[in-house]
Amino acid sequence: VKKVLLFGDIGIDDTVALIYARLNQEIEIVGLVADYGNVSREDAVSNIYYVMRLFNFPQGIPVILGAEVPLTGEQPTYYPEIHGERGLGPIIPNDDHELKIENFFEIVNIIERYKNDELTIVNIGRLTSLATMFILYKELMKHVKEFYIMGGAFWVPGNVTTVAEANFHGDPFAVNIVLTYAKNVTIIPLNATQKAIVTPGMVDYIDSFGQTKILKPLMEYYTRFYQERDPSLLGSPMHDALTLMAIMEPDMFIYESYPVTVVDKLEGPARGQSIAETRPYESINNGEKKHRIAFDIQYEKFFHHFLTIMTG
């Protein structure tokens, strides 16, 4: 069983990933870090508890309040048109529960607790919290066995700009820190996740087993957004669930290794601006470090595995 500390910005496909993790006996979630991204970190906390209650997650899994803004301090953009008003599509979780929230240091406790136990960290949101762990606890982070990161678009169109994918675009500075300091990094970019399409027919089949309750309304909301944007799509991409699959299903993926660099150059102060002198931001990842990148998946393996796990 893989012990997983999950950093997520709990929107719809993050939620499907949580349901997948709950139904997959080979994955044990040992902590959840709620980050800004698709939704605010407060909604991410609320959605985590909504799913944990609905799917009877084991008691006592720490829910940690993660980053509220990127390292630059900018106010994030949320995406209700994709993930819904609160990140659960049409579902509005009631707020009358007292939610037990741990502070950021709980992440240190979790890594200490599992340091001889091969902890896996999976990041399915922006990388701000994970980068902060490297900034504050670089040595401790060496006890983490492996990192799986959903993000990036390598020589394929992005989904927030022509080149940028949402998780990497949300905090490019954080991406560079993680890619520079983390070891055993597997990146699951849009190249792979855009092929992990779940169709309405697949959702109906899974729904007919009656174990995944909110999957259908979530996927109808999420798929409507994708199909309105591209009517040729037969369904919608399971970016985050696919990333969790990479932990235990290596032969579903086609990997190549490259040195990955995210370069985000700050322009110098514009004429007449009174801001302090800035300096060009050089990529600290000097291209030495190679990371494993999934450039493709074997769709039939994804199809079969997703249906098998989700129908319990």
- What residues make contact with Ca ion under the rule CB under 5 A? 9, 14, 124-125, 240
Coil/strand/helix, residue 95: coil
Only segment of 162-170, 278-286, 290-298, 303-311 that touches ligand BDR (CB under 6 A): 162-170
* Residue 166 site contact among Ca ion, ligand BDR, none (CB < 5 to 8 Å, cut-off depends on kind): ligand BDR
Q: Which is nearer to ligand BDR, 114 or 244 (CB)?
A: 244
Only segment of 56-64, 138-146, 158-166, 260-268 that touches ligand BDR (CB under 6 A): 158-166
Only segment of 7-15, 28-36, 60-68, 296-304 that touches ligand BDR (CB under 6 A): 7-15
CA 24 to CA 37: how far, in whole Å? 25
Contacts to ligand BDR from residues 109-128, by CB under 6 A: 124-125
Burial class of residue 155, CB neighbours in 10 A (0-12, 13-18, 19+): exposed
CA 176 to CA 72: how far, in whole Å? 13
Of 306, 303, 301, 299, the residue nearest 215 (C-alpha): 306
Instruction: Pull the structure tokens for residue 158.
Output: 């992005």
Runs of H (alpha helix) within the chain: 12-23, 41-54, 80-83, 106-113, 128-136, 166-170, 172-181, 190-193, 200-207, 215-229, 239-248, 299-310
State the minimum distance, in angstroms, from the CB of residue 138 to ligand BDR. 25
* Residue 165 site contact among ligand BDR, Ca ion, none (CB < 5 to 8 Å, cut-off depends on kind): ligand BDR
State the minimum distance, in angstroms, from the CB of residue 92 to ligand BDR. 19
Asked whether the beta carbons of 46 and 93 are under 8 A apart, the reply is yes
Only segment of 8-16, 52-60, 128-136, 173-181 that touches ligand BDR (CB under 6 A): 8-16
Q: Which is nearer to Ca ion, 14 or 43 (CB)?
A: 14
Give strand pairing partners of 122.
Answer: 6, 148
Q: Which is nearer to Ca ion, 114 or 197 (CB)?
A: 197
Q: Which is nearer to Ca ion, 114 or 215 (CB)?
A: 215
State the minimum distance, in angstroms, from the CB of residue 9 to Ca ion. 5
Asked whether the beta carbons of 193 and 237 are under 8 A apart, the reply is yes
Q: Which is nearer to Ca ion, 114 or 222 (CB)?
A: 222
CA 50 to CA 246: how far, in whole Å? 25
Burial class of residue 51, CB neighbours in 10 A (0-12, 13-18, 19+): buried
Contacts to ligand BDR from residues 271-310, by CB under 6 A: none
What string marks each residue from 29 to 58 as x (binds ligand BDR by CB under 6 A) or -?
---------x--------------------
Catalog residues that contact ligand BDR under the rule CB under 6 A. Answer: 11, 13-14, 38, 124-125, 150, 159, 165-167, 239-240
